[in-house]
Amino acid sequence: MFAGEVFPEWYWGPIIFYFVFGLPLSALAFAVDFAVRRWVRRLTWPQRGGLWLGVVAAGSLAILGGRALIEHVRFERDAKAAAQQFDFTPYAAETLPPGFDEELLSADDFFGGKVLVSRYAVRSAPYAFAYQQRPGEVSLQNGHCSLRGLVGTGTNFYDGQCRELRTPHGRAVFIGSLGLTTEGGQAFSLLDGTLVRLEHTQVADGDVLAYFDALRPVDPDDLDFKQG
């Protein structure tokens, strides 16, 4: 969390934390130790060691907790601000299909434009990501789909085979492959001017259709953002 992308290995975080906060925490522990011995009571060496450990541990938790809170507030503020700039109507699942658990919901303007991104845990499937955006060049036909101007990922187009399926409530969903693995797939649907794209691995067609059927238009202010 403190090392970031420059030092991705896990051990860099504790090392950098120690160099940044080690001296201030030690100074705080010394001050508390001095104050307790001067104005409260004398302490044995084991008690003093326990006091130092307690102060350092409590201080570390306070720093980490405060940083996490600041990051969460900043994330939610930025996501809400980005959602206010949407040039499309966002959708949210009224009730997620069985086995779907939303782990992340974020609004941003990256990889080509404004986008609403969701990440789902889906039963035993490795992953599922949903992207909502204003449509670019879109041609959805049973047998072949062509889309340009996709945002939210490094790939900004899709051109390949796809199958048209209908949800129980009659929505048209076009299912194609990722082209990277035999188990990967993606599905597209136009919902009143909003392009919804679901990328996944090992999610059954029935679950994909149930997901699209559950989507309802929502006000950007009502989106419940999750940092994941």
pLDDT at 2: 46
Per CATH, the number for 91-222 is: 3.40.1000
pLDDT at 170: 95
Residue 173 structure tokens: 């969903």
pLDDT at 17: 66
Among 27-36, 63-72, 107-116, 194-203, which is the least confidently predicted range? 63-72
pLDDT at 31: 85
pLDDT at 15: 63
Q: How many Å is the Cα radius of gyration of the chain?
A: 25
Higher pLDDT residue, 23 or 204?
Answer: 204
Q: Please tell me the pTM assigned to this model.
A: 0.73
Higher pLDDT residue, 29 or 176?
Answer: 176
pLDDT of 66 > 80? The answer is no
pLDDT of 64 > 80? The answer is no
Q: How far apart are CA 12 and CA 142, in angstroms?
A: 51
In 3-state terms, what secondary structure has residue 15? helix
Task: Give yes or no for a contact between 177 and 160, defined as CB atoms under 8 angstroms apart.
Answer: yes
pLDDT at 146: 95
Domain ranges of the chain: 12-83, 91-222
